[in-house]
């Protein structure tokens, strides 16, 4: 993505990504409330997304 403003989004599997701040979030994703420059968003995700297993798998594994 180009430089500019982004927002941190997450899907039903609790997988994180980023999306253009000024555009509606694609279906199945929701905003986490964090937004900023691209690198800020990615750094934030590094902090909060600590288990990259999809949620359904995590639950199936009892984790």
Are 18 and 45 within 8 A, CB to CB? yes
User: Secondary structure of the chain: what % helix, strand, coil (to 5)?
Assistant: 25, 35, 40
33 binds another protein, rule: CB under 8 A: no
Query: Using CB under 8 A, which of 11, 21, 35, 36 touches another protein?
Result: 11
In angstroms, give the least distance from the CB of 33 to another protein.
Answer: 15
The number of beta carbons lying within 10 Å of the beta carbon of residue 9 is 21
Query: Using CB under 8 A, which of 32, 36, 37, 41 touches another protein?
Result: 41
In angstroms, give the least distance from the CB of 52 to another protein.
Answer: 5
């Amino acid at each position: 993505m180009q430089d500019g403003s982004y927002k941190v989004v997450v899907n039903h599997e609790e997988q994180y990504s980023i999306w253009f701040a000024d555009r509606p979030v694609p279906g199945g994703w929701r905003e986490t409330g964090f937004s900023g420059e691209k690198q800020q968003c990615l750094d934030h995700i590094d902090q909060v997304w600590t288990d990259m297993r999809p949620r359904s798998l995590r639950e199936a594994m009892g984790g």
